[in-house]
C-alpha cells in the first residue's frame, strides 16, 4: 500500500513499498508549468527512473 512522504505542510513523494518511489517535480525542463503536474517514478532497488507522468492540475486552472 502506498504511503505519502510529508513534512508539516507539503506532500513530497509517495512510497510504494517493494515497487517505486514517486516524486513531484517542479522543473520546467521536465514539463512542469502552471496547471501541469509532473511526477517521476523511481525503482527502489536500482534508483533508476521508471517513467514520468504529466497531467493537468484542475485546482491550479480555476483562475487561470
Query: Which pLDDT belongs to residue 64?
Result: 46
Contacts of 44 (CB under 8 A, 6+ apart): 17, 18, 19, 20, 21
pLDDT tens string 8-64: 888 888 888 778 888 888 889 998 888 888 999 898 888 899 999 998 876 655 554
45 domain-assigned: yes
Task: Give the per-residue pLDDT at 55.
Answer: 87
Residue 37, domain member (yes or no): yes
Parent domain of 20: 3-56
pLDDT score for 51: 92
The answer to whether 37 and 58 have CB atoms below 8 angstroms apart is: no
Inside any domain, residue 12: yes
Please count the structural domains in the chain: 1
pLDDT of residue 18: 77
By C-alpha distance, which of 32, 53, 52, 41 is closest to 13?
A: 41
Q: Among residues 26, 21, 52, which one has the least CA distance to residue 39?
A: 52
Q: What is the pLDDT of residue 63?
A: 54
- Looking at the domain assignment, is residue 46 inside a domain? yes
> Residue 59 has what pLDDT?
65
Domain assignment of residue 8, yes or no: yes
Amino acid at each position: 500500500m502506498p504511503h505519502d512522504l510529508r513534512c508539516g505542510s507539503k506532500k513530497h513523494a509517495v512510497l510504494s513499498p517493494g515497487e517505486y518511489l514517486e516524486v513531484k517535480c517542479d522543473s520546467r525542463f521536465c514539463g512542469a508549468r502552471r496547471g501541469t503536474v509532473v511526477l517521476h517514478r523511481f525503482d527502489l532497488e536500482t534508483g533508476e527512473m521508471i517513467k514520468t507522468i504529466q497531467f493537468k492540475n484542475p485546482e491550479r486552472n480555476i483562475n487561470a
